[in-house]
Amino acid sequence: MSSPLPLKGLRVADFTWVGAGPFFTKPLADHGADVIKIESRSRTDPIRNMAPFRDGVPGPDRSGYFANRNTSKRSICLDLKDPRGRDLALELIAQSDVVANNFTPGTMDRLGLGYEDVLKVRPDVIYLEMPMQGNAGPHRAFRGYGLAIAAVGGLLGLTGYPERPPVGTGTNYPDHVPNPLHAAVAVLAALRRRRRTGQGQYIELSQLESTVNAIGPALLATAAGMNTERCANDDAVAAPQGVYPCAGDDRWCAITVGTDSQWAAFVRVLGNPAWAARPEFATVQGRRGARRELDGLIAEVTATRRADELADELTSAGVPAAKVSDAHEVLLDPQLNARGHWRVLKHPVMGPSVYDNIPYRLSATPGELRGPAPLLGADTRDVCVGLLGMDPDAYQRLAEQGVVG
């Protein structure tokens, strides 16, 4: 007997696009919610046209960036600027538990799909917006692309080497982690409350406020009058800690020595180099004090070792260590593969393609990637005719006029 998907029966009218929004509705879809992604032919989700593409050939149904964020969803195209398109959206919303968008403030109101409009057709709706800076405040209309939120939110400035300009994570981290998943937490909590009270909920997730929480301890330190600076790979406790060069071109091993017993094991694995016996290295305070010199000494030894073998030996000896894996290596990673983290789904245009699996398992009610990313507008007819009960001839007429389809 297959176990039930935990969110079966839930429907989401999903107006989100680009990075943060779709990664929030994805876990809902993968756990059984009917997530209906609303786009239009003239205003598709911009990420459909962002690389990488199958075989490097661009096209709205060829982007891996889009595909990996949109599993298990349905896609419909409505012209929301046409009153008939907007009415269809409201009909869909009337049958949806959750309505979500990450447009700039005021966009949904202008489309006639703001919270007040939606309440009239769905009084117990859970309505989530994720504006960049919030719907109110002096910077509400400020715009930003790429790393803007990581920059304003402080993570970019704190991440990097002390002696150089900041570098950040090399990704649009807020779009992939705090903003989408905080949104999922909020909506799921609101659903739980609705079950007990019958009440819907308006939720505003300012992407700036959400992202600032990722560096919460730094703000507390500043409030307490302490400076927080970029510190590369240093740790507040462990020493040595670093990313050390290994044999080969641009090969590295990350190592954390947290305790004196780990230090002893670390020295053994390195082959008991003479410098390791120096008395100042016997305590964590001493190692921290001399950490730059120590890093150089360690690097001389690690440079002769293979990163994966060194990590195996160190972890066997109880020392946290890992090869720095690139995107090819994570696909071959024994642990990720034992966990079934990578899934190949057959996409109608892209063919078999690699997707991230859900990074957790619910033992009794697990989710699953129920299907690859939907083709643009693949489900418009099904939703309009099957779900909204539209007459097939009427659908055909609206399709010919470009309102749907």
Task: Considering the complex, state which of residue 76 and residue 253 has its C-beta at the smaller distance from another protein.
Answer: 253
Virtual torsion, Cα 244, 247, 251, 256, nearest 10 deg: -30
> Exactly one of 14, 61, 97, 175 is catalytic; which is it?
175
For the bound state, the minimum distance from the C-beta of residue 175 to another protein, rounded and expressed in Å, comes to 8
The residue to which tokens 């929030």 are assigned: 24
> What is the closest distance, in whole angstroms, from the C-beta atom of residue 76 to another protein in the complex?
24
Tell me whether residue 55 or residue 393 sits nearer to another protein (CB atom).
55
Q: Which helix (H) or strand (E) holds 347?
A: strand 342-347
> In the bound complex, what is the minimum distance in angstroms from residue 292's beta carbon to another protein?
13
CA distances 348 to 54, 108, 240, 352, Å, are 12, 32, 50, 9
Measured from the CB atom, the residue of 84 and 140 that comes closer to another protein is 140
Instruction: Choose between 147 and 390: whose C-beta lies nearer to another protein.
Output: 147
Q: Which is nearer to another protein, 148 or 404 (CB)?
A: 148
> Alpha-carbon distance 54 to 109, whole Å?
37
| Cα of 163 vs its chain's centroid, Å | 30
Shortest distance (Å) from residue 17 CB to another protein: 16
Measure Cα distances from 277 to 256, 315, 318 in Å. 19, 22, 20
Minimum Å gap between C-beta 347 and another protein is 11
Sequence-distant (6+) residues with CB within 8 A of 83 are none
Q: Measuring CA to CA, which residue among 241, 219, 237 is closest to residue 228?
A: 219
Minimum CB separation from another protein for residue 39, in Å?
20
Q: Buried b vs exposed e over 360-384: b needs ≥16 C-beta within 10 Å?
A: eeeeeebbebebbbbebbbbbbebb
Query: Distance between alpha carbon 364 and the CA centroid of its chain, in Å?
Result: 25
161 with 96: CB under 8 angstroms? no
**Quick check: is 175 catalytic?**
yes
Query: Which two structure tokens, joined as six digits, stand for 19?
Result: 């990075």
Q: Cβ closer to another protein: 69 or 74? A: 69
Work out the number of other CB atoms within 10 angstroms of the CB of residue 402: 14
* Residues with a known catalytic role: 175
